[in-house]
Amino acid sequence: MDPGNFATNIAAGSQFGYALLWVILASNLMAQLIQYLSAKLGIATGKTLPQLCRERFSPMVSGFLWIVAELVALATDLAEFLGAALGLYLLFHIPLPVAGVITGIVVFAMLAIQNYGFRRFEYTIMGCVGAIMLSYLFELFIAKPDWGKVAYHTFIPTIGHESIYVAVGILGATVMPHVIYLHSALVQPRVNEGHGKKKHLRHTMLDIGIAMNLAFLINAAMLIMAAAVFYSNGMTVVGIEDAHATLEPLLGGAASTAFAIALLFSGLSSAAVGTMAGQVIMEGFLKTTIPIFLRRLITMIPAFVVIWLGLDPLSILILSQVILSFGIPFALIPLIIFTSNKKLMGAQVNRKKTEIAAWAIAGVIILLNVLLLYQSLGGKF
């Protein structure tokens, strides 16, 4: 759950009402399968997706995939860091540059928790996500959405040329290519503990199901709140600060505070996770790494540039998620190729229906990206 979700879901709800709820559901189902494949790859081979790309592709292909992965990680870091700084700014009225510095310090502290055991780090992230969930449950309770329209648009697809940009952003914010790389690494500690592969994969499937369904509920709650509060009142939100400021007169001060708290915790938790993903990418593709704190320091720079230039945070956040969507195929296609390789995967190789579903997902994502490019170049559909 990162600030990119906030930006895309609020933009979708305020501009198009409940119409793009189905995109959240579809993206979530795609993400569940993709994360399952990534975890399965790590469990079956004992290696990460970037490591296998380096070993099995030519240096030129591997180098290209590394560059794309780093650009995706950079876009992710930008969204996460910027979101956390905005959360501090909205909650405590701290100037954004100062809020950025405080965000950096807190993220460093969160990363340091790993030194006391990865399980403690997991609990920290779970606590952040719990805070986001409680905040949005509260906002849903007081927003009083039209549940009939919610049900209809969750399962009935509708999209047009005006909404495709935001829809692609939702896809990028949900599937998140850097997490495809990361998940193949997160399963490694338990692989090394000697758990049976089938048992480990079964537990991982349960983890993914719980986590992704929870993510769906939170993402849907964001969009539903924006549709019920902003769209229903004829208000198009043009910035995250506007969303925060508008909530107070419409729903009260507690709602705007809950919004800022959720944004802050989403930025902090995802910033820590994003830094880990960057480490996995660099170590796997280049067989080298840099200190995790130095990496975090470097990846903070683009966010500070955005803050100092006074660029619109909502527009930058949505753009970063669209960039993520364009990066998905470059992680997903190698993942499908590897998990469909019998010699590599053994008994964990993809079944035919799983392989077909995975290629269909890749095709849909590529098609949406092509349509967005076509539209950006002046095409109409």
Cα(134)–Cα(139) distance, integer angstroms: 9
Cα(144)–Cα(342) distance, integer angstroms: 51
Helix-strand-coil percent breakdown of the chain, rounded to 5?
85, 0, 15
The pLDDT tens digits for 219-258 are 898 899 889 888 888 877 766 666 666 666 566 667 778 8
According to the model, what pLDDT value does residue 334 have? 95
State the greatest distance between any 2 C-alpha atoms of the chain, in Å, as a whole number: 61
Is residue 78 in a domain? yes
Strand residues in 193-319 grouped as ranges (E): none
Is residue 116 in a domain? yes
How does DSSP classify residue 95? -
Half-sphere exposure of 173 (CA within 13 A, CB side): 37
What is the total count of domains within the chain?
Answer: 1
Least-confidence region, from 115-119, 178-182, 212-216, 283-287: 115-119
According to the model, what pLDDT value does residue 351 have? 93
Is 92 a residue whose pLDDT tops 70? yes
Is 11 a residue whose pLDDT tops 80? yes
Residue 201: CATH number of its domain: 1.20.1740.10
Range of the domain at 10: 3-376
Compute the average pLDDT of residues 153-174: 84
Burial status of residue 299 (CB atoms within 10 A of its CB: 0-12, 13-18, 19 or more): buried
Percent of the chain topping pLDDT 70: 92
Percent of the chain topping pLDDT 90: 25
Cα(262)–Cα(267) distance, integer angstroms: 9
Is residue 183 in a domain? yes
Band (360; pLDDT cuts 50, 70, 90): very high
Is 381 a residue whose pLDDT tops 60? no
**Whole-prediction pTM:** 0.85
Phi-psi region of 93 (alpha: psi -120 to 50; beta: other; left: phi over 0): left
Band (114; pLDDT cuts 50, 70, 90): confident
Is residue 381 in a domain? no
